[in-house]
Structure 1
Amino acid sequence: MKIVVIGGTGLIGSKLVAKLREHGHEAVAASPNTGVNTLTGEGLAEALAGASTVVDVSNSPSYEPEAVMEFFRTSTGNLLAAEAAAGVGHHVALSVVGTERMPENGYFAAKIAQEQLIVSSPIPFSIVHATQFFEFARGIADDATVEGKVHMAPVRFQPIAGDEVAQAVGRVAVGSPLKGRTEVAGPEQTRMDEFFRQALAAWGDPREVVTDPQAQYFGAVPGERTLVPDDGATLGTIRYLDWLKQNPAP
Protein backbone atom coordinates (compact mmCIF):
# COMPACT_ATOMS: atom_id res chain seq x y z
CA MET A 1 0.00 0.00 0.00
CA LYS A 2 1.34 3.43 -0.93
CA ILE A 3 0.82 5.86 1.95
CA VAL A 4 1.92 9.48 1.61
CA VAL A 5 2.78 11.17 4.91
CA ILE A 6 2.45 14.96 4.73
CA GLY A 7 4.90 16.34 7.26
CA GLY A 8 6.80 13.10 6.90
CA THR A 9 10.15 14.53 8.00
CA GLY A 10 8.85 16.03 11.27
CA LEU A 11 8.60 14.64 14.79
CA ILE A 12 5.58 12.38 14.30
CA GLY A 13 5.90 12.03 10.54
CA SER A 14 9.41 10.57 10.61
CA LYS A 15 8.38 8.04 13.25
CA LEU A 16 5.26 7.14 11.26
CA VAL A 17 7.14 6.67 7.99
CA ALA A 18 9.61 4.35 9.71
CA LYS A 19 6.85 2.26 11.31
CA LEU A 20 4.91 1.94 8.04
CA ARG A 21 8.01 0.85 6.16
CA GLU A 22 8.79 -1.73 8.85
CA HIS A 23 5.40 -3.28 8.06
CA GLY A 24 6.07 -3.43 4.33
CA HIS A 25 4.18 -0.37 3.15
CA GLU A 26 5.45 2.11 0.59
CA ALA A 27 5.58 5.15 2.85
CA VAL A 28 6.47 8.45 1.19
CA ALA A 29 7.78 11.26 3.40
CA ALA A 30 6.32 14.44 1.87
CA SER A 31 7.40 17.85 3.12
CA PRO A 32 9.05 21.02 1.79
CA ASN A 33 12.37 19.28 2.50
CA THR A 34 11.46 16.59 -0.05
CA GLY A 35 9.96 18.95 -2.61
CA VAL A 36 6.30 18.78 -1.55
CA ASN A 37 4.68 22.00 -0.36
CA THR A 38 1.00 21.95 0.58
CA LEU A 39 0.83 25.74 0.84
CA THR A 40 1.85 26.26 -2.78
CA GLY A 41 0.80 22.88 -4.17
CA GLU A 42 4.34 22.21 -5.40
CA GLY A 43 5.02 18.50 -5.87
CA LEU A 44 1.62 17.34 -4.58
CA ALA A 45 0.36 15.70 -7.76
CA GLU A 46 3.58 13.78 -8.25
CA ALA A 47 3.75 12.60 -4.63
CA LEU A 48 0.10 11.48 -4.54
CA ALA A 49 0.13 9.53 -7.80
CA GLY A 50 -0.92 5.96 -7.03
CA ALA A 51 -1.44 6.60 -3.30
CA SER A 52 -4.17 4.72 -1.44
CA THR A 53 -3.96 6.82 1.71
CA VAL A 54 -2.68 10.24 2.68
CA VAL A 55 -1.79 11.01 6.29
CA ASP A 56 -1.48 14.66 7.28
CA VAL A 57 0.70 15.22 10.35
CA SER A 58 2.05 18.57 9.13
CA ASN A 59 2.17 21.61 11.37
CA SER A 60 2.27 25.36 10.99
CA PRO A 61 5.70 26.99 11.29
CA SER A 62 4.03 29.80 13.24
CA TYR A 63 1.57 29.57 16.15
CA GLU A 64 0.41 33.17 15.70
CA PRO A 65 -3.41 32.87 15.40
CA GLU A 66 -3.82 34.35 11.92
CA ALA A 67 -0.78 32.53 10.53
CA VAL A 68 -1.78 29.14 11.90
CA MET A 69 -5.35 29.56 10.63
CA GLU A 70 -4.07 30.46 7.16
CA PHE A 71 -1.70 27.49 7.18
CA PHE A 72 -4.29 24.85 8.00
CA ARG A 73 -7.00 26.27 5.74
CA THR A 74 -4.71 26.67 2.74
CA SER A 75 -2.66 23.49 3.11
CA THR A 76 -5.68 21.29 3.87
CA GLY A 77 -7.67 22.76 0.98
CA ASN A 78 -4.82 22.19 -1.45
CA LEU A 79 -4.19 18.70 -0.14
CA LEU A 80 -7.82 17.57 -0.36
CA ALA A 81 -8.11 18.92 -3.91
CA ALA A 82 -4.97 17.05 -4.95
CA GLU A 83 -6.23 13.87 -3.29
CA ALA A 84 -9.53 14.08 -5.16
CA ALA A 85 -7.67 14.48 -8.45
CA ALA A 86 -5.41 11.52 -7.65
CA GLY A 87 -8.24 9.23 -6.53
CA VAL A 88 -7.00 8.82 -2.96
CA GLY A 89 -9.42 6.72 -0.94
CA HIS A 90 -8.54 7.61 2.66
CA HIS A 91 -7.48 10.88 4.28
CA VAL A 92 -6.06 10.64 7.81
CA ALA A 93 -5.35 13.73 9.90
CA LEU A 94 -3.70 14.19 13.27
CA SER A 95 -5.46 16.72 15.48
CA VAL A 96 -5.67 17.57 19.17
CA VAL A 97 -7.86 16.33 22.00
CA GLY A 98 -10.10 19.14 23.21
CA THR A 99 -10.11 21.40 20.14
CA GLU A 100 -13.86 21.92 20.41
CA ARG A 101 -13.63 22.72 24.14
CA MET A 102 -11.26 25.70 23.79
CA PRO A 103 -11.98 27.47 20.48
CA GLU A 104 -10.65 30.74 21.92
CA ASN A 105 -7.18 29.18 21.63
CA GLY A 106 -5.89 30.25 18.21
CA TYR A 107 -4.22 26.94 17.44
CA PHE A 108 -7.27 24.92 18.45
CA ALA A 109 -9.51 27.18 16.34
CA ALA A 110 -7.29 26.50 13.33
CA LYS A 111 -7.46 22.74 13.91
CA ILE A 112 -11.26 23.00 14.09
CA ALA A 113 -11.24 24.76 10.71
CA GLN A 114 -9.00 22.02 9.33
CA GLU A 115 -11.33 19.30 10.57
CA GLN A 116 -14.37 21.03 9.09
CA LEU A 117 -12.71 21.02 5.66
CA ILE A 118 -11.93 17.32 6.00
CA VAL A 119 -15.43 16.37 7.10
CA SER A 120 -17.05 18.35 4.28
CA SER A 121 -14.79 16.75 1.66
CA PRO A 122 -16.08 13.73 -0.32
CA ILE A 123 -12.91 11.79 0.54
CA PRO A 124 -13.44 9.13 3.25
CA PHE A 125 -11.55 10.26 6.34
CA SER A 126 -10.25 9.42 9.79
CA ILE A 127 -9.22 12.02 12.38
CA VAL A 128 -6.95 11.05 15.27
CA HIS A 129 -7.15 13.33 18.31
CA ALA A 130 -4.04 13.08 20.48
CA THR A 131 -3.16 14.68 23.79
CA GLN A 132 0.03 16.71 24.24
CA PHE A 133 3.28 14.97 23.35
CA PHE A 134 5.97 14.31 25.96
CA GLU A 135 8.38 15.95 23.52
CA PHE A 136 6.58 19.30 23.92
CA ALA A 137 6.64 19.41 27.73
CA ARG A 138 9.64 21.74 27.89
CA GLY A 139 8.03 24.18 25.45
CA ILE A 140 4.77 24.15 27.39
CA ALA A 141 6.64 24.98 30.60
CA ASP A 142 8.60 27.76 28.91
CA ASP A 143 5.44 29.33 27.48
CA ALA A 144 3.84 29.27 30.93
CA THR A 145 6.79 30.96 32.64
CA VAL A 146 6.11 34.40 34.12
CA GLU A 147 8.91 36.21 35.96
CA GLY A 148 10.83 32.97 36.37
CA LYS A 149 7.91 30.92 37.70
CA VAL A 150 5.93 28.31 35.77
CA HIS A 151 2.19 29.00 36.13
CA MET A 152 0.04 25.92 35.59
CA ALA A 153 -3.70 25.39 35.98
CA PRO A 154 -4.86 22.56 38.28
CA VAL A 155 -6.73 20.80 35.44
CA ARG A 156 -6.50 17.25 34.14
CA PHE A 157 -3.56 16.41 31.91
CA GLN A 158 -2.70 13.16 30.11
CA PRO A 159 0.28 13.55 27.73
CA ILE A 160 1.62 10.80 25.47
CA ALA A 161 4.89 9.73 23.89
CA GLY A 162 5.34 10.70 20.24
CA ASP A 163 6.18 7.08 19.36
CA GLU A 164 2.77 5.97 20.58
CA VAL A 165 1.02 8.75 18.65
CA ALA A 166 2.77 7.55 15.49
CA GLN A 167 1.78 3.97 16.26
CA ALA A 168 -1.88 4.95 16.72
CA VAL A 169 -1.93 7.00 13.52
CA GLY A 170 -0.29 4.15 11.64
CA ARG A 171 -2.95 1.68 12.75
CA VAL A 172 -5.67 4.01 11.53
CA ALA A 173 -3.86 4.67 8.23
CA VAL A 174 -3.73 1.01 7.21
CA GLY A 175 -7.35 0.37 8.18
CA SER A 176 -10.67 1.35 6.67
CA PRO A 177 -11.75 5.00 6.99
CA LEU A 178 -13.43 5.67 10.32
CA LYS A 179 -15.57 8.45 8.84
CA GLY A 180 -15.19 10.01 12.25
CA ARG A 181 -12.73 10.64 15.07
CA THR A 182 -10.77 8.54 17.53
CA GLU A 183 -8.74 9.63 20.57
CA VAL A 184 -5.35 8.58 21.91
CA ALA A 185 -3.69 9.60 25.18
CA GLY A 186 -0.98 8.62 27.61
CA PRO A 187 -1.46 6.00 30.34
CA GLU A 188 -1.47 8.43 33.27
CA GLN A 189 -3.96 11.18 34.00
CA THR A 190 -2.85 13.73 36.58
CA ARG A 191 -3.20 17.43 37.27
CA MET A 192 -1.28 19.70 34.95
CA ASP A 193 0.45 21.57 37.79
CA GLU A 194 1.46 18.30 39.47
CA PHE A 195 2.80 16.86 36.21
CA PHE A 196 5.04 19.85 35.62
CA ARG A 197 6.17 19.98 39.24
CA GLN A 198 7.44 16.41 38.84
CA ALA A 199 8.79 17.06 35.35
CA LEU A 200 10.84 20.09 36.34
CA ALA A 201 12.23 18.21 39.32
CA ALA A 202 13.24 15.36 36.99
CA TRP A 203 14.85 17.84 34.58
CA GLY A 204 16.81 19.42 37.41
CA ASP A 205 15.07 22.69 36.55
CA PRO A 206 15.03 25.11 39.53
CA ARG A 207 11.93 27.03 38.41
CA GLU A 208 9.01 26.98 40.84
CA VAL A 209 5.69 25.65 39.53
CA VAL A 210 2.81 27.83 40.70
CA THR A 211 -0.71 26.40 40.85
CA ASP A 212 -2.77 29.10 39.14
CA PRO A 213 -6.44 28.51 38.20
CA GLN A 214 -6.19 31.41 35.73
CA ALA A 215 -3.00 30.19 34.07
CA GLN A 216 -3.29 30.20 30.29
CA TYR A 217 -2.40 27.37 27.95
CA PHE A 218 -1.06 29.12 24.85
CA GLY A 219 -3.43 32.05 25.15
CA ALA A 220 -6.53 30.53 26.77
CA VAL A 221 -7.48 29.16 30.20
CA PRO A 222 -8.23 25.41 29.98
CA GLY A 223 -11.19 23.85 31.77
CA GLU A 224 -11.05 20.80 34.01
CA ARG A 225 -11.38 18.34 31.11
CA THR A 226 -10.29 20.45 28.12
CA LEU A 227 -7.03 18.58 27.53
CA VAL A 228 -8.02 14.98 28.32
CA PRO A 229 -9.98 12.47 26.25
CA ASP A 230 -13.44 11.08 26.79
CA ASP A 231 -13.99 7.49 27.90
CA GLY A 232 -13.01 4.93 25.29
CA ALA A 233 -9.77 6.54 24.16
CA THR A 234 -6.83 4.35 23.18
CA LEU A 235 -4.20 4.66 25.90
CA GLY A 236 -0.46 4.33 25.52
CA THR A 237 1.72 2.36 27.90
CA ILE A 238 4.82 4.56 28.21
CA ARG A 239 4.94 6.66 31.37
CA TYR A 240 6.60 10.05 31.29
CA LEU A 241 9.37 9.40 33.82
CA ASP A 242 10.23 6.13 32.05
CA TRP A 243 10.27 7.94 28.70
CA LEU A 244 12.51 10.64 30.18
CA LYS A 245 15.16 8.05 31.07
CA GLN A 246 15.54 7.31 27.35
CA ASN A 247 15.05 10.94 26.30
CA PRO A 248 16.81 13.09 28.92
CA ALA A 249 15.91 16.76 28.94
CA PRO A 250 18.68 19.10 27.77
Structure 2
Amino acid sequence: MKIVVIGGSGLIGSRTVALLREAGHEAIAASPSTGVNTLTGEGLSEAFAGAEVVVDVANSPSFEPQAVLAFFETSGRNLLAAERAAGIRHHVALSIVGTDRMPDNGYFLAKMAQERLIEGSGIPYSIVRATQFMEFLGAIADGSMADGSVRLPAGLFQPIAADDVAAIVAETATGTPRGGHFDIAGPDRAPFDRIIARYLEATGDSRSVVSDPQARYFGGTVVETSLVPLGEAIIGRISLDSWLGAHRPA
Protein backbone atom coordinates (compact mmCIF):
# COMPACT_ATOMS: atom_id res chain seq x y z
CA MET A 1 0.00 0.00 0.00
CA LYS A 2 1.29 3.49 -0.83
CA ILE A 3 1.04 5.77 2.20
CA VAL A 4 2.16 9.41 2.12
CA VAL A 5 3.35 10.83 5.45
CA ILE A 6 3.13 14.62 5.59
CA GLY A 7 5.84 15.80 7.97
CA GLY A 8 7.63 12.55 7.26
CA SER A 9 11.06 13.83 8.28
CA GLY A 10 10.05 15.00 11.76
CA LEU A 11 10.04 13.38 15.20
CA ILE A 12 6.90 11.30 14.67
CA GLY A 13 6.89 11.23 10.88
CA SER A 14 10.34 9.68 10.46
CA ARG A 15 9.48 6.91 12.93
CA THR A 16 6.12 6.30 11.26
CA VAL A 17 7.70 6.04 7.81
CA ALA A 18 10.27 3.55 9.10
CA LEU A 19 7.61 1.34 10.71
CA LEU A 20 5.43 1.37 7.59
CA ARG A 21 8.37 0.43 5.39
CA GLU A 22 9.34 -2.38 7.76
CA ALA A 23 5.79 -3.69 7.38
CA GLY A 24 6.19 -3.78 3.60
CA HIS A 25 4.32 -0.62 2.61
CA GLU A 26 5.48 2.05 0.20
CA ALA A 27 5.79 4.91 2.67
CA ILE A 28 6.65 8.32 1.25
CA ALA A 29 8.20 10.92 3.57
CA ALA A 30 6.71 14.19 2.30
CA SER A 31 7.99 17.57 3.46
CA PRO A 32 9.22 20.84 1.94
CA SER A 33 12.71 19.30 1.78
CA THR A 34 11.35 16.62 -0.58
CA GLY A 35 9.39 19.10 -2.72
CA VAL A 36 6.01 18.77 -0.99
CA ASN A 37 4.68 21.99 0.55
CA THR A 38 1.22 21.93 2.10
CA LEU A 39 1.12 25.73 2.47
CA THR A 40 1.51 26.33 -1.26
CA GLY A 41 0.16 23.01 -2.53
CA GLU A 42 3.43 22.33 -4.35
CA GLY A 43 4.06 18.64 -5.02
CA LEU A 44 0.87 17.32 -3.44
CA SER A 45 -0.75 15.90 -6.56
CA GLU A 46 2.49 14.19 -7.58
CA ALA A 47 3.03 12.71 -4.11
CA PHE A 48 -0.56 11.45 -3.89
CA ALA A 49 -0.60 9.70 -7.27
CA GLY A 50 -1.39 6.04 -6.62
CA ALA A 51 -1.63 6.53 -2.84
CA GLU A 52 -4.43 5.14 -0.70
CA VAL A 53 -3.64 6.76 2.64
CA VAL A 54 -2.33 10.15 3.77
CA VAL A 55 -0.94 10.60 7.29
CA ASP A 56 -0.57 14.19 8.50
CA VAL A 57 1.86 14.64 11.37
CA ALA A 58 3.22 18.02 10.25
CA ASN A 59 3.58 20.84 12.76
CA SER A 60 3.57 24.60 12.52
CA PRO A 61 6.98 26.31 12.55
CA SER A 62 5.47 29.04 14.76
CA PHE A 63 3.45 28.72 17.97
CA GLU A 64 2.15 32.30 17.80
CA PRO A 65 -1.68 31.95 17.86
CA GLN A 66 -2.48 33.62 14.54
CA ALA A 67 0.44 32.01 12.74
CA VAL A 68 -0.36 28.50 13.95
CA LEU A 69 -4.04 28.92 13.06
CA ALA A 70 -3.11 30.10 9.56
CA PHE A 71 -0.75 27.14 9.18
CA PHE A 72 -3.24 24.43 10.07
CA GLU A 73 -6.12 26.00 8.16
CA THR A 74 -4.11 26.62 4.99
CA SER A 75 -2.29 23.30 5.14
CA GLY A 76 -5.51 21.42 5.91
CA ARG A 77 -7.46 22.94 3.02
CA ASN A 78 -4.68 22.27 0.52
CA LEU A 79 -4.12 18.73 1.74
CA LEU A 80 -7.77 17.73 1.74
CA ALA A 81 -8.46 19.26 -1.67
CA ALA A 82 -5.53 17.35 -3.16
CA GLU A 83 -6.68 14.16 -1.43
CA ARG A 84 -10.18 14.44 -2.86
CA ALA A 85 -8.72 14.93 -6.34
CA ALA A 86 -6.47 11.89 -5.89
CA GLY A 87 -9.19 9.65 -4.46
CA ILE A 88 -7.44 9.09 -1.11
CA ARG A 89 -9.31 6.48 0.95
CA HIS A 90 -8.09 7.30 4.46
CA HIS A 91 -6.80 10.49 6.07
CA VAL A 92 -4.98 10.06 9.40
CA ALA A 93 -4.14 13.13 11.48
CA LEU A 94 -2.21 13.52 14.71
CA SER A 95 -3.87 15.89 17.17
CA ILE A 96 -3.79 16.55 20.92
CA VAL A 97 -5.66 15.15 23.93
CA GLY A 98 -7.77 17.93 25.43
CA THR A 99 -7.83 20.03 22.27
CA ASP A 100 -11.52 20.74 22.77
CA ARG A 101 -11.11 21.56 26.49
CA MET A 102 -8.76 24.58 26.42
CA PRO A 103 -10.53 27.46 24.66
CA ASP A 104 -7.87 30.01 25.67
CA ASN A 105 -4.97 27.99 24.23
CA GLY A 106 -4.16 29.32 20.75
CA TYR A 107 -2.34 26.18 19.62
CA PHE A 108 -5.17 23.92 20.73
CA LEU A 109 -7.70 26.14 18.95
CA ALA A 110 -5.68 25.80 15.76
CA LYS A 111 -5.72 22.01 16.08
CA MET A 112 -9.49 22.14 16.57
CA ALA A 113 -9.78 24.11 13.33
CA GLN A 114 -7.72 21.41 11.61
CA GLU A 115 -9.98 18.68 13.02
CA ARG A 116 -13.12 20.48 11.82
CA LEU A 117 -11.73 20.67 8.28
CA ILE A 118 -11.05 16.93 8.34
CA GLU A 119 -14.50 16.11 9.70
CA GLY A 120 -16.18 18.14 6.97
CA SER A 121 -13.97 16.94 4.11
CA GLY A 122 -15.97 13.89 3.07
CA ILE A 123 -12.78 11.80 3.17
CA PRO A 124 -12.79 8.75 5.50
CA TYR A 125 -10.58 9.70 8.43
CA SER A 126 -9.07 8.85 11.80
CA ILE A 127 -7.83 11.47 14.27
CA VAL A 128 -5.26 10.31 16.82
CA ARG A 129 -5.21 12.61 19.84
CA ALA A 130 -1.97 12.20 21.80
CA THR A 131 -0.79 13.58 25.11
CA GLN A 132 2.48 15.51 25.16
CA PHE A 133 5.59 13.62 24.03
CA MET A 134 8.26 12.61 26.55
CA GLU A 135 10.82 14.02 24.11
CA PHE A 136 9.56 17.55 24.88
CA LEU A 137 9.85 17.40 28.70
CA GLY A 138 13.13 19.31 28.66
CA ALA A 139 11.73 22.04 26.41
CA ILE A 140 8.69 22.36 28.67
CA ALA A 141 10.94 22.83 31.69
CA ASP A 142 13.02 25.43 29.86
CA GLY A 143 9.92 27.33 28.72
CA SER A 144 8.38 27.31 32.21
CA MET A 145 11.19 29.12 34.02
CA ALA A 146 10.08 32.08 36.13
CA ASP A 147 11.62 33.67 39.22
CA GLY A 148 14.45 31.16 39.24
CA SER A 149 12.35 27.98 39.21
CA VAL A 150 10.33 25.83 36.84
CA ARG A 151 6.70 26.82 37.43
CA LEU A 152 4.05 24.45 36.11
CA PRO A 153 0.25 24.20 36.18
CA ALA A 154 -1.29 22.11 38.92
CA GLY A 155 -3.09 19.66 36.61
CA LEU A 156 -2.34 16.04 35.78
CA PHE A 157 0.14 15.05 33.08
CA GLN A 158 0.54 11.75 31.18
CA PRO A 159 3.29 12.02 28.56
CA ILE A 160 3.81 9.40 25.85
CA ALA A 161 7.00 8.32 24.07
CA ALA A 162 7.38 9.27 20.40
CA ASP A 163 8.04 5.62 19.51
CA ASP A 164 4.63 4.67 20.93
CA VAL A 165 2.93 7.51 19.07
CA ALA A 166 4.50 6.45 15.78
CA ALA A 167 3.53 2.81 16.32
CA ILE A 168 -0.12 3.72 16.94
CA VAL A 169 -0.22 6.15 14.01
CA ALA A 170 1.28 3.53 11.68
CA GLU A 171 -1.20 0.90 12.86
CA THR A 172 -4.07 3.35 12.38
CA ALA A 173 -2.91 4.18 8.85
CA THR A 174 -3.11 0.54 7.78
CA GLY A 175 -6.48 -0.06 9.42
CA THR A 176 -10.08 0.90 8.73
CA PRO A 177 -10.96 4.60 9.04
CA ARG A 178 -12.54 5.28 12.42
CA GLY A 179 -14.63 8.26 11.35
CA GLY A 180 -13.75 10.04 14.60
CA HIS A 181 -11.01 10.67 17.13
CA PHE A 182 -9.46 8.60 19.91
CA ASP A 183 -6.96 9.33 22.68
CA ILE A 184 -3.52 7.85 23.29
CA ALA A 185 -1.31 8.43 26.35
CA GLY A 186 1.67 7.10 28.24
CA PRO A 187 1.39 4.61 31.13
CA ASP A 188 2.30 7.12 33.88
CA ARG A 189 -0.16 9.74 35.14
CA ALA A 190 0.90 12.19 37.86
CA PRO A 191 0.79 15.90 38.69
CA PHE A 192 2.56 17.99 36.07
CA ASP A 193 5.27 19.21 38.44
CA ARG A 194 6.07 15.67 39.60
CA ILE A 195 6.61 14.40 36.03
CA ILE A 196 8.93 17.27 35.15
CA ALA A 197 10.79 16.93 38.46
CA ARG A 198 11.42 13.24 37.67
CA TYR A 199 12.81 14.24 34.28
CA LEU A 200 15.10 16.90 35.74
CA GLU A 201 16.38 14.57 38.45
CA ALA A 202 17.08 11.82 35.90
CA THR A 203 19.03 14.23 33.70
CA GLY A 204 21.06 15.69 36.56
CA ASP A 205 19.30 19.06 36.41
CA SER A 206 19.15 20.74 39.82
CA ARG A 207 16.46 23.30 39.02
CA SER A 208 13.57 23.38 41.48
CA VAL A 209 10.04 22.71 40.27
CA VAL A 210 7.00 24.52 41.64
CA SER A 211 3.32 23.70 41.18
CA ASP A 212 1.66 27.02 40.39
CA PRO A 213 -2.12 27.16 39.77
CA GLN A 214 -1.58 30.41 37.87
CA ALA A 215 0.99 28.95 35.46
CA ARG A 216 -0.23 28.48 31.90
CA TYR A 217 0.41 25.89 29.20
CA PHE A 218 1.02 27.33 25.71
CA GLY A 219 -0.94 30.34 26.95
CA GLY A 220 -3.89 28.26 28.17
CA THR A 221 -5.39 27.80 31.61
CA VAL A 222 -5.00 24.26 32.95
CA VAL A 223 -7.38 22.50 35.34
CA GLU A 224 -6.81 19.05 36.81
CA THR A 225 -7.82 16.99 33.77
CA SER A 226 -7.10 19.42 30.90
CA LEU A 227 -4.16 17.44 29.52
CA VAL A 228 -5.10 13.80 30.14
CA PRO A 229 -7.69 11.44 28.64
CA LEU A 230 -11.09 11.59 30.35
CA GLY A 231 -12.29 8.16 29.25
CA GLU A 232 -10.89 5.21 27.34
CA ALA A 233 -7.49 5.62 25.74
CA ILE A 234 -4.84 3.51 24.08
CA ILE A 235 -1.91 3.37 26.50
CA GLY A 236 1.66 3.21 25.22
CA ARG A 237 4.03 0.45 26.26
CA ILE A 238 7.00 2.67 27.24
CA SER A 239 6.94 3.85 30.85
CA LEU A 240 8.43 7.14 31.93
CA ASP A 241 11.13 5.36 33.96
CA SER A 242 12.03 3.18 30.99
CA TRP A 243 12.23 6.20 28.69
CA LEU A 244 14.28 8.17 31.20
CA GLY A 245 16.67 5.23 31.59
CA ALA A 246 17.24 5.14 27.83
CA HIS A 247 17.76 8.92 27.62
CA ARG A 248 19.81 9.45 30.78
CA PRO A 249 23.06 11.35 30.13
CA ALA A 250 26.16 9.19 30.05
Task: Confirm or deny a common fold (TM above 0.5).
Answer: yes
Matches within 5 A, 1:133-212: 133-212=133-212
Q: Tell me, what secondary structure is at the counterpart of 2:216? A: coil
What's the C-alpha RMSD, in Å, of the aligned pairs? Answer: 1.1
Residue in structure 1 matched with residue 246 of structure 2 by the alignment: 246
Residue in structure 2 matched with residue 223 of structure 1 by the alignment: 223
Residue in structure 2 matched with residue 8 of structure 1 by the alignment: 8
Residue in structure 1 matched with residue 214 of structure 2 by the alignment: 214
Deviation at 1:249, TM superposition (A): 5.6
Deviation at 1:245, TM superposition (A): 2.0
Structure 1 residues not aligned, in runs of 5+: none
Asked whether the equivalents of residues 154 and 193 of structure 2 are also in contact (C-alpha less than 8 Å), the reply is yes
Letter in 2 for 1:67: A
Structure 2 residues not aligned, in runs of 5+: none
Identity fraction in percent = 59
TM-score (norm. length: structure 1): 0.98
Asked whether the equivalents of residues 154 and 223 of structure 2 are also in contact (C-alpha less than 8 Å), the reply is no
TM-score (norm. length: structure 2): 0.98
Asked whether the equivalents of residues 143 and 218 of structure 1 are also in contact (C-alpha less than 8 Å), the reply is no
Instruction: Report the number of matched residues.
Output: 250
Measured in 2, the distance between the counterparts of 1:200 and 1:22 equals 34
Residue in structure 2 matched with residue 87 of structure 1 by the alignment: 87
Measured in 2, the distance between the counterparts of 1:110 and 1:124 equals 21
Asked whether the equivalents of residues 90 and 123 of structure 2 are also in contact (C-alpha less than 8 Å), the reply is yes
Q: Tell me, what secondary structure is at the counterpart of 1:62? A: coil
Deviates more, 1:235-244 or 1:128-137: 235-244
Is 1:19 the counterpart of 2:49? The answer is: no
Measured in 1, the distance between the counterparts of 2:199 and 2:139 equals 12
Measured in 1, the distance between the counterparts of 2:249 and 2:183 equals 27
CA-to-partner distance for each residue in 1:181-219, whole Å, 9 max, x for gaps?
Answer: 111100011110111111111111121101111111111
Measured in 2, the distance between the counterparts of 1:93 and 1:243 equals 25
Measured in 2, the distance between the counterparts of 1:227 and 1:244 equals 21
